[in-house]
Amino acid sequence: MEVLVLIGEARAAGLAIEVEGDTLIVSGPSHAAPLAQQLGQRKAEVIAAITNRAPYACYGSGRSRRLIGRGFPSTPSAEPPPSILASTRISCPACGQRPVLPELRRLTNGTCFDCWRGGAQP
């Protein structure tokens, strides 16, 4: 069994796995003792897998690791290229900054929502 699958099954069984230096700390319900023993037998691999900051998912256990803050930027790095957008972006004629949302274009008379709400005229 791969160490990542083992860790995923252990967490799904309710085990908490922590690493402090070279020490592996496993705590949880007693019914998961066999999994805890397997983790202990593969201590070096488990520590290496847990201290690795690369995001991964534990497939087969029904749970996935949290990916936010694990190597992914908190905000998008750039605007998507216009070639992949479903419709082209139209800038607001009143402010020239914000986009006019296609689904609100008829309601706002072709202005962005903020300008429409503020009463600006194109």
Percent of the chain with pLDDT over 70: 72
Of the pLDDT bands very low, low, confident and very high (cuts 50, 70, 90), residue 120 is: low
* Distance of alpha carbon 106 from alpha carbon 90, whole angstroms: 13
pLDDT, tens digit (0-9, with 9 covering 90-100), for 40-65: 999 988 888 888 744 444 544 545 55
pLDDT for 110 = 87
* Distances, alpha carbon 100 to alpha carbons 1, 87, 103, 108, in Å: 53, 11, 9, 9
What local confidence, expressed as pLDDT, does residue 54 receive? 46
> pLDDT at position 83, please?
73
The DSSP secondary structure of 86-119, one letter per residue, reads: SS---B-TTTSSSBPPGGGTTTTTTS-HHHHHHT
pLDDT for the residue 41: 93
At 99 the pLDDT is: 86
DSSP letter (8 states) at residue 121: -
Rg of the Cα atoms in the chain: 25
Average pLDDT value for residue range 75-100: 77
- pTM comes to 0.43
Two structure tokens written together for 92: 């607001």
